Homo-oligomer: A and B are copies of this chain.
């Protein structure tokens, strides 16, 4: 929101009248959200007939607004009605971050009609904005060499589906001849899909920027869909534009974990990769952290780097012969085989904090050395973007 491209006469030179295209819907003639110079943010909404307009946002302190029932990290803030029926609210200066919000207009959830940036978080959509001048600079597009993001499809014989997979190749990949690259497999959580690390996760921007700064090795980043029962993210599959629900049923227990080797084969067949343990990393958030833990212990000597971001890490709940079975034994084996970096991050308010604490004790008993980062915050993207920003520079060095 910092810059505005001013309207200017275009194509007069080539002789036809400028005219808007389809444009069914004209936004209100307002800007919102405006990031001010002091990093406060101003929201505007024209709603002359509304009795009450509020913002639901993850930037709100619980003290500032009220905590919204059942919603993690969201505060509800009253906006003030001003002239011309324009409701407005300015936050205090915010720390550098990517934030989400929407309005509640007389109780109706309302996306900001003056902000076209809308991200889908599986079954919900919200507006977003970035407050820069800090850690969130990594989440912005800068004038640095950009990698390529490809939406591809791989055939899973195990899951009997052609499945969508997002692959980031770093800047220069296409022009680098025979050069081979290390690979980070980056997994989403239960309330996510293959697009989540691309949108809320800002994985392409984080990697572009860290690589350009010389802080991370150029690497390929593979983002599959961790729901074994899905072909693709909502709206990208043959289910059409259906209403997505968060909880899905695996076709068989541990199916995604079980058939993960198909993804590795696909990547190693289709990309110029360094196909050895020292050049493979796997990380994930929440459910994806559980996936990363299980896959990395089940596939022996496959990953030298493991990242567990607010991970679902409880052990020994699988039935005999299933992928989640025999966890402690397999972890012991992983310790024996050696792993270069076992990295864990979690927020102090995370509902998985306690199970992660227990898991760390188990790792201590098993003698698996890990790096551990404890941050403020709960089970939210703020943490996961931070963890990727911290984790990626540690890889392949």
A248 touches B324 (CB 8 A): no
Q: Which chain B residues border A248 with CB–CB below 8 Å? A: 5, 8, 10
Closest to A105 in B: B108
Residues of B within 8 A of A241 (CB): 1, 115, 117, 128-130
**A247 & B9 in contact (Cβ 8 Å cutoff):** yes
Closest to A27 in B: B124
B316-A19 in contact (CB<8A): no
Verify B287–A11 contact, CB threshold 8 A: yes
Contact call B25/A124, Cβ cutoff below 8 A: yes
| Interface 1/0 per residue, A229-265 and B, CB below 8 Å | 1011011111111111111111001100000000000
How many residues from A make CB contacts under 8 Å with B? 135
CA distance A112 to B228 in the complex (A): 29
A-B CB proximity, top 10 nearest: A15-B317, A21-B191, A8-B249, A15-B314, A16-B312, A109-B113, A150-B150, A146-B153, A13-B253, A49-B106
Contact between A21 and B130 (Cβ–Cβ < 8 Å)?
no
Contact of A190 (CB < 8 Å), options: B19, B48, B107, B253: B19
Q: From known contacts A26-B70, A315-B15, A324-B14, infer whether A116 and B110 are also in contact, taking CB-CB under 8 Å.
A: no
Verify if A276 is at the interface (C-beta below 8 Å from B).
no
Produce 1/0 per residue, A138-167, CB < 8 A to B.
001111011011111100000000101000
Contacts A15-B317, A107-B49, A240-B3; A118 near B118 (Cβ below 8 A): yes
CA distance A338 to B145 in the complex (A): 40
* A25-B153 contact in complex given A113-B109, A287-B11, C-beta closer than 8 Å: no
Instruction: Pick from A31, A58, A190, A316 the residue with the most CB of B within 10 Å.
Output: A190
* In contact, A126 and B242 (Cβ under 8 angstroms): no
What are 17 A-B interface contacts by the 8 Å CB criterion?
Answer: A2-B239, A4-B242, A5-B229, A13-B322, A14-B317, A21-B122, A24-B56, A27-B124, A28-B109, A105-B105, A118-B118, A118-B120, A118-B125, A143-B162, A146-B164, A148-B151, A174-B270
Type the 1/0 row for A1-44, where 1 means its CB is closer than 8 Å to any CB of B: 11111111111011111111111111110010000000000000
Tell me whether B22 and A73 are in contact (CB under 8 A).
Answer: yes
Chain B residues closer than 8 Å to A13, beta-carbon distance: 250, 253-254, 317-319, 322, 324
Do B235 and A117 have beta carbons less than 8 Å apart? yes
Other than the given A116-B123, A118-B118, 13 more pairs (CB < 8 A) read A5-B242, A5-B244, A5-B245, A8-B247, A8-B249, A11-B287, A15-B314, A22-B379, A48-B107, A111-B111, A117-B235, A130-B240, A146-B153
